[in-house]
Chain A
Amino acid sequence: MASRKPRDRQMLFDSVIALVFILVACVDLCDGATVVDVYRLIQYDMSGVPFGSRLASLNHHAASLHFSPHADLSRTVLLIPLRELNMSFVREYIAESKPLGGLIFLLPRMFSFENKDGMGSSHQDGSKELLKNVLDELEQILIHTNLPYPVYFAFEDDNIDAVLTDIKKNDVTGQPATATTGGYKFVVSAPEPKKVVSPPITNIQGWLSGLKTDDDAHQLPTIAIVASYDTFGAAPALSVGSDSNGSGIVALLEVARLFSLLYSNPKTRGQYNLLFGLTSGGPYNYNGTRKWLRSFDQRLRESIDYAICLDSIGSWENELWIHVSKPPENAFIKKIVEDFSSVAEELGFKVNLKHKKINISNPRVAWEHEQFSRLRVTAATLSELSTAPELLEKTGGLVDGRHFVNEAAIVRSVKLIAESLARHIYGHQGKNIQIFADNSNLAVNPSYVRSWLDVLSQTPRVAPFFSKDDPFVMALKKELEDHTDEVNLHRDVLDGIFTFYDSTRAKLNIYQVASVTFDLLLLLVLGSYLIVLFSFLVITTRGLDDLISLFRRPPSRKVKTA
């Protein structure tokens, strides 16, 4: 008896120590909850038909694209890096709306507007273009599909990459993570998305009046320079639209700045009024432009000689397009085109004319100038796009980031616009006079262009999600105030077929969760630990006989053992 007691004890010691070491060895795996910024896919109704992601809150286990082919994914959120996305999956799962618990797309850091440097160096141009095309296609599919589950976008970073690697490892080794196998749980706690009630649109107009020769200012003709400033994209919180139409805004502001210099001196003040308009509602058939134009009084509208609309002029090489809806034989159009193409020739690139008739019965307005043309105002759109985009296409979505915009192109566009306008205003047609020559004090300022482009490329501008008196709108207003005599805000409500839902960004909590089996196992281990401890204590303090007698007490046992 005496010799047996220490041996038992020794064994117990060993097992306890072994248990401790097993537990200690497992500890390295764990880390705290990770929180990631995520941006929700837009949710909207078009003519009452639902589109986009219809849910915001998420609470599911995560899986990667390596899920087993026959798994039920209706309670699983898929974490998909854009780099590994293949379109067959997209077509199978998204377009055919197979059930999923949720989707999270991981975008490469280069699409993040916070990532200003380190661009192009790490990625080759070829793969960059490829990713851009994939993302473009994905965005169009997502926008035009009704997805009955939450869809989010996130940017790759070290934390989420580590999580993704873990998830992939899990998926490759066995079954996808569910409540019984543990793994990662993705939780977004967001309230039910609510309709945006009467989404506001705010048009900003700046007026630079010309030199009056006689008393009546209304006699002076007006030239309008217009750009729409809002965007639409798969993720409203990421739709910064550097090219569409950030480039147009920047060009408009720079033209306003240049002409404000000219107009500040009575000697160089032209006999034309200049009207600068930053319009909202661009992606929705230029709804804001229409409202703005209709708010003009008849005399002002008739005094507009012509309007130049700027749309996507930030990433072209050597060709720009002037889109018109009146026939090219029209005298006004001819004059505009002549002005532009002669200047373009001097600057060393080409401006082409493209004529597209308006179909009044068709609600689709592809170009901003068509809204002017519908009200019989001569207008043209200057753009790098040769064909009219479809509805909700090229509206400054996910791919339209700062890195795909060329500042030099904007600078050349500004030169073209300013010089052509100046020739028209001061009547220098056909003469080779450079008013805005480089190195003069009227030269285009590249740093001004760059800084505004940077600001615009960091500001999501989906109009329905702007608050009243949004700081960005106020900033634009203030900038125009600096360059023009009079600035007005024209407020209205976006109407038509669109309904939007809020909750555009959220925080994704990533939890590493233990499985039920683990908890059961732990309970088993703890139970046996306590039993062993109990027996050990009874043996050491009261002796082995006592322990045995504890179990012998029930009479039925007694019979059995006897």
Chain B
Amino acid sequence: MTVFHFFNCAILTFGPHAVYYSATPLSEYDTLGTSIKAAVVYLATALVKLICLATFLKVSESDSFDPYQEFLKALIGFIDVAGLYFALTQLTHRNISQNHKFQAVGLGWAFADSVLHRLAPLWVGARGLEFTWDYILQGLEANANLVLSISLAALGSLMWLRKNKPKTLIPIIYLSAGIVATMPSITSYLRRGLGWHFPKVVGFELFTSLVMAFISWQLFSACQRPSV
């Protein structure tokens, strides 16, 4: 029964990645290699991030929200963006279109993140006897994260790969990318600074991820138009 629960949570956490891959043209163009490379880049980035966190951050005894520490954390969080930049610009796997490239990179990125952050707690926790909503919420969070990663990758590909984009949209693109990149800090602030509970935070994440996805999709199609 509890293995059943684990199975359910695993479906919720990792299922959308697989569905995304098989449902979109990514599978038709065989972009798995790019995704795997992006995942490897993610692992390397995570390592660098951990080293930076260990070097620059104090271990806080209390669970309170310290603005300075959080600022540092947000700065370190931008290493993610650097990693994503590397994945988008330096990786060349066959000759896939930009359109598919950013999706493949975002997917690999989000999947690696889910495996790294959620698989172990799920395995340890969700098989226990005690029932909590935490692991279901965590699965929902993974979904939000997938959407955010792909949005960020889309915005990144707009910023770095597309040369002829409308001038008026550039600030909006940068602003959106900034917002998406600082999402971890924002949720951290909500959770600890404002004392939001986990369900509320997850709800917020889902909502913002959908909004950001919509915005980036609009931006992307707006940039697409002149070239078509």
Residues in A lying within 8 Å of B, measured CB to CB: 13, 16-17, 20-21, 23-24, 26-27, 30, 32-33, 179, 182, 185, 187, 509, 511-514, 516, 519, 522-523, 526-527, 529-530, 533-535, 537-538, 541-542
Asked if A533 meets B23 with Cβ closer than 8 Å, knowing A33-B130, A512-B130, A513-B130, the reply is: yes
- Whose C-beta in chain A lies nearest to the C-beta of B2? A513
With a cutoff of 8 Å between Cβ atoms, the chain A residues found around residue B131 in the complex are 30, 182, 511-514
- Whose C-beta in chain A lies nearest to the C-beta of B140? A20
B54 is an interface residue with CB less than 8 A from chain A: no
B160 is an interface residue with CB less than 8 A from chain A: no
Q: Report whether A23 and B136 are in contact in the complex, using a CB–CB cutoff of 8 Å.
A: yes
Most buried by A among B5, B11, B19: B19
Closest Cβ of chain A: how far from B201's Cβ, in Å?
Answer: 10
- Whose C-beta in chain A lies nearest to the C-beta of B20? A537
Q: Report whether B206 and A20 are in contact in the complex, using a CB–CB cutoff of 8 Å.
A: yes
New contact pairs (13) apart from A20-B206, A519-B5, CB-CB < 8 Å:
A20-B140, A24-B202, A27-B133, A32-B130, A512-B131, A513-B1, A514-B5, A519-B8, A522-B8, A526-B15, A530-B16, A538-B24, A541-B23
Asked if A516 meets B15 with Cβ closer than 8 Å, knowing A23-B136, A32-B130, A541-B25, the reply is: no
Most buried by A among B12, B22, B128, B197: B12
Q: Report whether A27 and B8 are in contact in the complex, using a CB–CB cutoff of 8 Å.
A: no
Q: Per-position contact with A for B134-176: 1 when CB-CB < 8 Å, else 0?
A: 0011001000000000000000000000000000000000000
With a cutoff of 8 Å between Cβ atoms, the chain A residues found around residue B202 in the complex are 20, 24
- Whose C-beta in chain B lies nearest to the C-beta of A518? B131
Q: How many Å lie between the Cα of A516 and that of B3 in the bound state?
A: 11
B4 is an interface residue with CB less than 8 A from chain A: yes
Q: Report whether A23 and B19 are in contact in the complex, using a CB–CB cutoff of 8 Å.
A: no
Which of A33, A512, A530 is B15 in contact with, Cβ under 8 Å?
Answer: A530
Q: Per-position contact with A for B15-46: 1 when CB-CB < 8 Å, else 0?
A: 11001101111000000000000000000000
With a cutoff of 8 Å between Cβ atoms, the chain A residues found around residue B207 in the complex are 17
Q: How many Å lie between the Cα of A75 and that of B140 in the bound state?
A: 36
Asked if A537 meets B203 with Cβ closer than 8 Å, knowing A519-B1, A526-B8, the reply is: no
Closest Cβ of chain A: how far from B41's Cβ, in Å?
Answer: 24
Q: Report whether B210 and A522 are in contact in the complex, using a CB–CB cutoff of 8 Å.
A: no
Q: How many Å lie between the Cα of A33 and that of B12 in the bound state?
A: 24
- Whose C-beta in chain A lies nearest to the C-beta of B197? A27
Q: How many Å lie between the Cα of A526 and that of B12 in the bound state?
A: 7
Q: How many Å lie between the Cα of A32 and that of B131 in the bound state?
A: 8
With a cutoff of 8 Å between Cβ atoms, the chain B residues found around residue A513 in the complex are 1, 129-131
Which of B1, B136, B140, B210 is A13 in contact with, Cβ under 8 Å?
Answer: B210
- Whose C-beta in chain B lies nearest to the C-beta of A515? B1
Q: How many Å lie between the Cα of A13 and that of B213 in the bound state?
A: 12
Asked if A541 meets B136 with Cβ closer than 8 Å, knowing A185-B129, A519-B5, the reply is: no
B199 is an interface residue with CB less than 8 A from chain A: yes
- Whose C-beta in chain A lies nearest to the C-beta of B25? A541
Q: Report whether A530 and B129 are in contact in the complex, using a CB–CB cutoff of 8 Å.
A: no
With a cutoff of 8 Å between Cβ atoms, the chain B residues found around residue A20 in the complex are 140, 202-203, 206
Q: How many Å lie between the Cα of A30 and that of B132 in the bound state?
A: 6
Asked if A534 meets B23 with Cβ closer than 8 Å, knowing A511-B129, A522-B8, the reply is: yes
Closest Cβ of chain A: how far from B220's Cβ, in Å?
Answer: 12
Q: How many Å lie between the Cα of A527 and that of B137 in the bound state?
A: 16
With a cutoff of 8 Å between Cβ atoms, the chain B residues found around residue A523 in the complex are 4, 7-8, 11
With a cutoff of 8 Å between Cβ atoms, the chain A residues found around residue B128 in the complex are 33, 511
Q: Report whether A511 and B136 are in contact in the complex, using a CB–CB cutoff of 8 Å.
A: no
Q: How many Å lie between the Cα of A516 and that of B210 in the bound state?
A: 32
Closest Cβ of chain B: how far from A266's Cβ, in Å?
Answer: 65
Q: Report whether B15 and A541 are in contact in the complex, using a CB–CB cutoff of 8 Å.
A: no
B200 is an interface residue with CB less than 8 A from chain A: yes
Asked if A530 meets B11 with Cβ closer than 8 Å, knowing A23-B140, A513-B129, A542-B25, the reply is: yes
With a cutoff of 8 Å between Cβ atoms, the chain B residues found around residue A179 in the complex are 1
Q: How many Å lie between the Cα of A431 and that of B78 in the bound state?
A: 98
With a cutoff of 8 Å between Cβ atoms, the chain A residues found around residue B198 in the complex are 27
Q: Report whether A511 and B130 are in contact in the complex, using a CB–CB cutoff of 8 Å.
A: yes
With a cutoff of 8 Å between Cβ atoms, the chain B residues found around residue A33 in the complex are 128-130
Q: Report whether B16 and A32 are in contact in the complex, using a CB–CB cutoff of 8 Å.
A: no
Q: How many Å lie between the Cα of A23 and that of B200 in the bound state?
A: 11
